[in-house]
Amino acid sequence: MDLPDVVGDAFEVFVNGVRQQPGVDFEQIGRTLVFRRELRKEGRLGFWRWTSIFLGVAGTYRHNDTVDVVYPSGSTRAVASLTPEPVPDGPTDAA
């Protein structure tokens, strides 16, 4: 996940509102943040998922991780929200 151009060298990272520690929770490689755990954002609901929810077969719990980068901007602090890559909708392997 790449940092926006407006973010300088000093910043804090939060995932789902929880502060992340550099070197522990993520690494910075150039302008890219690499997280130790998989961050997920599910894409749009497909036809079968909507149908299964409508019929009461499945629930609506979805992965929706948020990443916020807090950085100084002049005399205040600003927030840039980053979006993880969406994961495809559909069956997953439980193996």
Q: Provide the residue ranges of all domains of the chain, joining segments of one domain with +.
A: 12-86
Which tens digit of pLDDT belongs to each residue from 37-74? 888 666 555 666 657 666 766 555 556 788 999 999 99
Confidence of residue 84 (pLDDT cuts 50, 70, 90): confident
pLDDT of residue 65: 86
Tracing tokens 């000093």 back to the chain, one arrives at 10
Q: How high is the pLDDT of residue 57?
A: 65
- Collect all residues with Cβ–Cβ distance below 8 Å to 87 and sequence separation of at least 6: 40, 41, 42, 43, 63
**pLDDT value at residue 1:** 87
Q: What is the mean pLDDT of the chain?
A: 81
| 86: its two tokens | 């969406």
pLDDT for residue 92: 47
